[in-house]
Each structure stands twice: as C-alpha cells, then as structure tokens.
Structure 1
Amino acid sequence: MDTPAGPHVVRAGEGDVTGEPGFQDRYLLESAASSGRVALVEHVLGPKMLAAPMHRHSREDEYTFVLAGTLGVIEEGIEIRATPGDMVAKPRGRWHTFWNAGDDELRVLEIIVPGGVEALFRRLAGPGGEYSPDTLPALAAEYGAEVDFEATMPLVERHGLLF
C-alpha cells in the first residue's frame, strides 16, 4: 500500500466504527496501512461487558492502554485491574481476556503487534456479524487464535459480566 505524503491523522470522531452502543471498536490504524506492522483499535465497553471469551493469539502481542474507566484483565489465571494511564501487556501465546470492571464506560486503546487480528474484530462485529459460540473456534483459528468457553464462564459468573 502506498503511503500518502504527510502525517496520517485520524481526528476525534473519525475512523470506522463497528459494533453497537455498549460494545464498539473504532479502527484508528489497520495493518494494511502499516504494512502489517501494527494496528490500533479503540475498544469502548459498557459496564460489566466482557470483550471476548478467554483466548490466546499465536501471532500477535497486545498492549492495552486505559483511556477511561476500569479495565479488568485475566492472563494465565492472574486477575488485575487497570485505570486511566495504565498499560497492560498481553504477550502472544498466553490465555487472557478483558472486561469493563467498573460502572462507567471503559475506553482503551488496543495496540496490536504485528497487526492483522483486527480483521477478526470486524468479522465478529455488529448486526450480521459472524459471532456464534459454535463457529467462533474455527473462525479464530483462521487468525492463529484459540478460544476457551469453559474457562470463560466462571469469570462471567464471578464478576457478573455480560457476555
């Protein structure tokens, strides 16, 4: 992909948005625009919303920077909370998920290195999305990822999460 002259700017309120109120993704930089090196996606989750079932990536590292709200994360069985200004690293190969652990909207910047899995987010988003507990494992596998619904449900129950 040719890089246009000048800085790449995505202004506030710009960028493609998928999902519905309470669970949205805003695509700030997709892998196609960075020659596959990185993707930046803003996730916005309503209170107690789980972002995804327990999963792991074989290709990407994820770095989650909290912009607003309280982020809950579980990685390899260890749970933490993070607040605005905190950054949580989720290296490839480790089982993890995250959720809105507060009563206010959660906004995080997800930095994905290298980019690519953001295409899966698009496929799963909104009305007509491809999400189904029956089809998600095969779809995730196309992106080098695995999901574990059995490990997800105790987390949902423990924290009263919406999934």
Structure 2
Amino acid sequence: MSLVTDHYDVTLGKLGARLDVAPTENEANVAVVEHTLPPHTLAAPLHRHSREDEISYVLDGEMTVLADDTLSTVSVGEPVVKGRNVWHTFWNAGDDPLRFLEIIAPGEFSEFFEEVAPLTPLDPSDREAVAEFLRIGERYGFEADLESVPRLCEEHDLQM
C-alpha cells in the first residue's frame, strides 16, 4: 500500500525532500527526489539500503559523501552512486546551500521520506520516535546507525 499522496515537499530535520517523479509515473519504477541541505549540515546517519541504488546529481553547492571508509567530494554537474548494501552518508561541508537530485531505483524508497518526516528532527532520547523510525526503515530494507551522528558531526564540524 502506498502512503504517498501524489507528490510531497517535506523537511526531515534540515534535509528538504520534494518528490518530483513518483515510481508509479514510469514503467521503470524510478523515483526522483530533489533534496536541499544548508551549509555545514549532516543529512543522515550512516545507513545502507538493501533494495535500491541511489544516484545523486549535484545541482548547486558541493556534497561530501562517506561510502564505506572512502570520503569523496561531488561538485555541481557531477553524479555519485550510492549502491545498495554500502554503508554511507553525506553532508554539506561548504558555505553555500546544497541542492541535488536523488534518483532512486527501484523507487519505492522515495516514500520513506514522507513517512518519517513527522518524526524529525529525531530526538535520540525519544525512544518511541526512534523505535518508529527504525520500524519504518526496516519495512524499506533501510538500516541506520543512529549512534554515528554525534561522531560524524564532531569529526567534520557539522550540525544535524
């Protein structure tokens, strides 16, 4: 059952997410989500997807990606593939806002953003909200290391 009511435009903490192309709108079952992220901000905890690949294409700003133990910087006009089963996260280390397209294949995971938006920003002391976030993630084959957030923010001088 799809919870997406056509298209959405939500904020998950400081990460903006707007569904531009729903997977139901094409036979390839691909979704396109436009994300925005302010300067010096971590987008998500370390996480991995078991069912989909994500391809990010930077429109404005610069994205730093940590995939496994490799750090890379992605500039305007460049793509980066965040493949399934790879622990990864990303952030905006720069002084300018980051805006990028996220191509999700297959696209069902695009519904995750709309579902978790009411729980964000996620307060680690709110056990009920954390448990619900993890339950939603499990339904999508999404695993998150919530304990990675403080370490990443400290190591890279970020906020979340």
**TM-score, normalization by structure 1:** 0.82
Partner of 1:89: 81
Cα separation, 2, equivalents of 1:157 and 1:17: 30
Does 63-72 or 22-31 show the bigger shift?
Answer: 22-31
Partner of 1:70: 62
Partner of 2:119: 130
Partner of 1:54: 46
Deviation string for 1:81-116 (max 9, x for gaps)?
111011100110000011112111100100000001
Spell out the pairing of 1:94-133 with structure 2 (5 A cutoff). 94-125=86-117, 129-131=118-120, 132=122, 133=124
Unaligned runs of 5+ in 1: 1-14
Spell out the pairing of 1:15-26 with structure 2 (5 A cutoff). 16-19=8-11, 22-26=14-18
Q: Answer yes or no: is the 8 Å Cα contact 2:12–2:116 preserved in 1.
A: no
Q: Answer yes or no: is the 8 Å Cα contact 2:14–2:43 preserved in 1.
A: no
Relative to structure 1, is the Cα distance of residues 160 and 22 closer, same or farther in structure 2, using a 3 angstrom cutoff?
same
Relative to structure 1, is the Cα distance of residues 74 and 32 closer, same or farther in structure 2, using a 3 angstrom cutoff?
same
Cα separation, 1, equivalents of 2:93 and 2:28: 31
Higher RCO, Cα 8 Å, sep 6+: 2
Relative to structure 1, is the Cα distance of residues 50 and 21 closer, same or farther in structure 2, using a 3 angstrom cutoff?
closer
Moved over 4 A (4+): none
Identity of aligned residues (%): 40
Q: CA deviation at 1:118?
A: 1.0
Unaligned runs of 5+ in 2: 1-6, 125-129
**For the aligned residues, what is the CA RMSD?**
1.9
Cα separation, 2, equivalents of 1:115 and 1:73: 21
Q: Does 1:45 align with 2:37?
A: yes
Q: CA deviation at 1:130?
A: 2.6
Q: CA deviation at 1:152?
A: 3.4
SS in 1 for 2:147: helix
Relative to structure 1, is the Cα distance of residues 141 and 162 closer, same or farther in structure 2, using a 3 angstrom cutoff?
same
